[in-house]
Amino acid sequence: MEKSLRKEKEFKARRSEILKEAEKIFASKGFYLTTMSEIANASGFAIGTLYQFFTGKEDLYTRMICEKLEKMYSEIRETVNNSPTTAEKIENLVSTHFYFVENNVDFCNLFIRGEGATLSKGKTILRDKMIADYLNHIAFIENIMRIGIEERLIKAVEPRVMACVLFGIVRVFIYDWMLTNQEAPLSSRVGCALDIFMNGVRAEVPQC
């Protein structure tokens, strides 16, 4: 019992180690230019050993992406759900996302690269998963919008559209930050992003 417990633990530790190293290499070269042999080398295991943790290269890649995305989304959700007011929820939706990106630059590079929509011939598992994740996340934001509308914080237009816009703004800030590699941390842009989202860019019409 104890023995099997330790084994279980060791197994997970090794698996994590592999995923960690794989992430770096995949991030720098993409799925196709990364070889199993490289991952084996980097993680200190033999090639054959990788196949005890994953059914193949594609599985390794897919799980790496999925587990990391899972982590990101759950972090965002948890923080948002724990925020008392809607305004704070919205703010944390953005700031947690930014925070994750800052701490996982390599991983996020994969998405700028964007690879992986279709890996092997027939399968679109990863593509489907990523679309599902997107739709899920949009639905999650949409819900917040809906609450905001009820609370009269947000105007009563299609909440889904607003959710998309917010997500689009988040994504473009990330994209721009990763490409331009600014000195300022991404998280310093939260206020800026939210201001435009909330108030738009139109100049204030002077009130009588």
Q: Which of 33, 46, 105, 139 contacts a copy of itself by CB under 8 A?
A: 33
- By CB under 7 A, what part of segment 5-24 binds DNA? 7, 14
Considering just the CA atoms, what is the radius of gyration of the chain in Å?
Answer: 20
36 binds DNA (CB under 7 A): yes
E strands in 17-145: none
Nearest to 20 by CA among 42, 2, 3: 42
| Tokens linked to 42 | 């980097």
Distance in angstroms (rounded) separating the CA atoms of residues 145 and 160: 8
Q: Which of 12, 161, 185, 188 contacts a copy of itself by CB under 8 A?
A: 161
Q: Which of 4, 5, 84, 179 contacts a copy of itself by CB under 8 A?
A: 179
State the angle between helix axes of 190-199 and 159-180 in degrees (0 to 180), rounded to the nearest 10.
150
Distance in angstroms (rounded) separating the CA atoms of residues 106 and 108: 5
32 binds a copy of itself (CB under 8 A): yes
136 binds DNA (CB under 7 A): no
| CB of residue 109 to a copy of itself, shortest distance in Å | 8
89 binds DNA (CB under 7 A): no
The contact set with DNA (CB under 7 A) reads: 7, 14, 33-37, 44-49, 51-52, 56-58
